[in-house]
């Protein structure tokens, strides 16, 4: 499939997703909004869209003028029946495009914390099976999305509810980072060091570095999600 991804900052790329897409012989293209000459393709040229994370907020159009153009592109892809997967900011952008609110989360959440499947997630058997043992995943977010009445509310954490939604077989949003690798962890730490304040659900740099032992498990779950989403 022709898979296009939207990247907002240099330090939040595809990570493990790139490996998976290459191993499964999909074609990859990108729009990097942090580059002055960024380009969005025609919707007809895309089979699947992946929207990555970033430190900006969904409503920061005054600071990031491309956000309005990006939201329209996401809406157009959804309306065209394309497969759309959002991660962190990407999921928040999808939620906004689906007409739901994005706001400050109850707790800023940075580091390795488990997620718990909701009762509603049991309606999606393959996903419930991936999360029924409460895997530890990588979080880095301060906002949260509301979940539309048409979507399944799939996961929560101790810090925050609304960690994932399933709108339909084409449209899935994840608040956390299963695509994480040692390299992307290092880059996020280098660029987000100022956010590591002494709060309940914010781990220290050392704790985050020690959590790389969870990367393999995260990537395995990501692989299953990609396979179910894109097949």
Q: In total, how many domains does the chain have?
A: 1
Give the range of the structural domain holding residue 120, as residue numbers without chain letter: 2-230
pLDDT at 231 over 90: no
pLDDT tens-digit readout, 79-103? 999 999 999 999 999 999 999 999 9
Per-residue pLDDT, 209? 97
Give the pTM: 0.98
Question: For position 46, which CATH number holds?
Answer: 3.40.50.880
What is the separation of C-alpha 209 from the centre of its chain, rounded to a whole number of angstroms? 20
Pick from 10, 59, 63, 55: nearest CA to 35: 10
Reduced to 3 states (helix: H, G, I; strand: E, B; else coil), residue 106 is strand
């Amino acid at each position: 499939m022709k898979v296009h991804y939207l990247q907002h900052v240099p330090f939040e790329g595809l990570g493990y997703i790139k490996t998976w897409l290459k191993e499964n012989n999909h074609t990859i293209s990108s729009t990097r909004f942090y580059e002055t000459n960024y380009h969005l393709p025609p919707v007809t040229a895309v089979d699947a869209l992946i929207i990555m994370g970033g430190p900006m907020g969904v409503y920061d159009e005054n600071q990031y003028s491309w956000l309005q153009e990006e939201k329209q592109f996401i809406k157009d892809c959804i309306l065209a029946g394309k497969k759309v997967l959002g991660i962190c900011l990407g999921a928040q952008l999808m939620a906004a495009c689906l007409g739901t609110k994005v706001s400050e989360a109850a707790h800023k959440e940075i580091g390795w914390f488990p997620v718990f499947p909701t009762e509603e997630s049991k309606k999606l058997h393959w996903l419930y099976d991936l999360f029924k043992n409460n895997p530890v995943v990588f979080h880095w977010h301060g906002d949260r999305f509301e979940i539309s009445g048409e979507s399944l509310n799939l996961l929560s954490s101790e810090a925050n509810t609304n960690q994932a939604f399933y709108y339909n077989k084409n449209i899935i949003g994840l608040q956390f980072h299963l695509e994480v690798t040692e390299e992307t962890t290092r880059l996020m730490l280098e660029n987000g060091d100022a956010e590591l304040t002494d709060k309940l659900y914010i781990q220290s740099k050392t704790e985050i570095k020690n959590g790389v032992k969870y990367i393999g498990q995260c990537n395995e779950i990501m692989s299953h999600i990609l396979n179910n989403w894109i097949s």
